[in-house]
A = this chain, B = another copy of it.
Amino acid sequence: MEKEKAVVLLSGGLDSATSLAIAFKKGYEVLPLTIDYGQRHKWEIDCSKKLIQYYNLNHHKIVELDLASIGGSALTDKFDIPKNRHIDDMSSEIPITYVPARNTIFLSIALGYAEVKKAQHIYMGVNVLDYSGYPDCRPEFIKSFETLANLATKVSVENKIRFKIHTPLIQMTKKEIIKKGCELGVDYSLTHTCYDPNSIGDPCGCCDACMLRLKGFKDAGLKDPLNYSSEL
């Protein structure tokens, strides 16, 4: 029997690498999709390529989108990235690393790719618990996108295909995500999380993303395999 297909949004970060491993485990034919959107941390794209090699996949769709030309985010503009914030402070407001409508745009492109490839499933590694600031990581957003997807496409209208958006990490803590990924054999040395790496790609260890990652590994009783540029 032919496997069902799943488009997996793969940034090269810890969460999307775990989401990819979960889609594999579920038995889907995995179609990884990376959006090169002009993010400052191009190391993410490199990591997504390394993950593709690790999983021995022979197809990796990278779509270029010039979101930097729209701006409005510390991830595409020249804003300063906040450093050394306490984790409890991170969820009090939406951070400047928010990219306007990013997940709406990513899911839309994934939907187009899924339709072309006859895939009914889309995986996205969003997570609402550890970092609740992003509006487009919430379950109500994902549910609303799924409703939209099933009105938007030729296959949903003509063939009654129902798209399903999978967000297996949405209610997990970073600790739980890391434990799950390790169970599934994810090589986290191939992932990239930092918002502000140094010139050779080493993570800073003190931006919000690094601090959440490091706390996740610590809580899981594991060592993060990455080399951090500063002593921690």
Residues of A within 8 A of B (CB): 61-67, 69-72, 93-94, 98-105, 107-109, 111-113, 115-116, 135-136, 138, 140-141, 144-145, 147-149, 151-154, 156-158
Partner of A111, one of B93, B104, B141, B157: B104
- B151 touching A115, Cβ below 8 Å: no
- B65 touching A154, Cβ below 8 Å: no
Q: Enumerate chain B residues within 8 angstroms of A113, measured Cβ to Cβ.
A: 70, 100
Q: State how many copies of this chain the complex holds.
A: 2
Q: Enumerate chain B residues within 8 angstroms of A138, measured Cβ to Cβ.
A: 151
Determine the residue in chain B with the shortest Cβ distance to A106.
B108
A40–B212 Cα distance when bound, in Å, is 45
- B70 touching A116, Cβ below 8 Å: yes
Partner of A65, one of B64, B116, B156: B64
Partner of A112, one of B94, B101, B151, B156: B101
